[in-house]
Structure 1
Amino acid sequence: MNRTVHPIEQESYRRLRARLDTSPLPPLTRAVVERVIHSAADLAYASDLVLNERELTAAHAALHAGAPVVVDVEMVAAGITRRETVCRLKDATSGPGRTRSAHAVRLAYEEVGPGALWVIGCAPTALEELLRLDAAPALVIGLPVGFVGAAESKAALRASGLPAVSNVSEKGGSAVAAAALNALLYHPTSKETL
């Protein structure tokens, strides 16, 4: 997907690369790492993110083939450019032992079925609920933030064997989750590079 890059963004990436050599990273891993760092101005994400190039390649193909993108909150949706997303938080309710975020994930899965890209940037309970479903995702970008459940839910994601982008620490959030998805959106397909 060709896009015009603003000079401020170009300068930001130049400065990022002056502080951190990302050139040894595989292409999609590099794209995700750089865009997440750019979104947070936090170089520590370079060693905090957990990525797999093979999984990113498959997710990139699914995304560009039209796989649905599901987000946990509208703030994640607002950060994803050039792509429609599914967010069912407005329709969700909380109940005994269930948060609105968890219910929204279940509603979204009923709508999109298997093969979606899931972008969780806010609620650890949304990620936990997704792991309970047989969602067969193309990718889970699991970057919820917080001191309660965030690191644990991301560890459970990595242990699940699902294709994922996560990080080890409690850091995360809507902006970095959207940035990880945008990195895959902006990265050219093989047709675009010919």
Structure 2
Amino acid sequence: MNRTVHPIEQESFRRLRARLDTSCFPPLTRAVVERVIHSAADLEYATDLVMTEEHLAQGHFALHSGAPVVVDVEMVAAGITRRETVCRLRDAGAGPGLTRSAHAVRLAYEEVGPGALWVIGCAPTALEELLTLDASPALVIGLPVGFVGAAESKAALRDSGLPAISNVSEKGGSAVAAAALNALLYHPTSSEEIS
């Protein structure tokens, strides 16, 4: 995907690379690590993020092949550029044992079915609910933030064996989750690299 990079963004990435050598990472991992760090100005994400290049390649292929992108909140959607997203939070309601975010995940799954990319940057309960579904995701970007349930939900995501990007700490958030998806969105496909 060709895009014009603003000089401020170029300088920001130059400064990031001056502070942190990211050349040891494989291409997609490097793209995600750098864009997440750029979104939060937090170099600790270089050691906090957990992902594999194989899972990133699977998500990258699905994303560029038109797989749906589902987000847990509108703030994540607002951060994802150049791609339509599905967010059902406005349609969801809370009930006994079910938060609005969890209900929104159920509604979104009914809409998109298996094979989507899921980007969760706010609600640990959304990530927990996704793990109960047979969603067969192309990739789960599970980066919810908070002191209650965030680290635990991300640990459960890693334990699930699903293709994923997560992090170990309680850090995360909408901007970080959107940045991880944008890293894959902006990274060229093989055909773009050739042309």
Normalising TM by the smaller chain, what interval?
A: over 0.9
Which residue of structure 2 lines up, in the alignment, with residue 156 of structure 1? 156
Identical amino acids, percent of aligned pairs? 87
Q: Which residue is equivalent to 2:70?
A: 70
TM-superposed CA distance for 1:24, in Å, is: 1.0
Q: Distance in 1 between matches of 2:160 and 2:174?
A: 22
In the alignment, is residue 83 of structure 1 matched against residue 83 of structure 2? yes
What corresponds to 1:166 in structure 2?
166
Q: Helix, strand or coil for the counterpart of 1:157?
A: helix
Match of 1:42 in 2: 42
Partner of 2:123: 123
Counterpart residue identity of residue 24, structure 2: P
1:124-154 residue CA offsets vs partner (Å, 9 max, x unmatched): 0000000000000000000000000000000
Structure 2 portions without partners, runs of 5+: none
Distance 1:181 1:100 in 2: 23
3-state SS, counterpart of residue 141 of structure 1: strand
RMSD, aligned α-carbons: 0.3
Match of 1:109 in 2: 109
Partner Cα distance (2:76, 2:19) in 1: 28
SS of equivalent residue, structure 1 residue 162: coil
Measured after TM superposition, the shift of residue 90 of structure 1 is 0.3
Letter paired with 1:170: E
Q: Which runs of 5+ in 1 are unaligned?
A: none
Amino acid aligned to 2:58: A
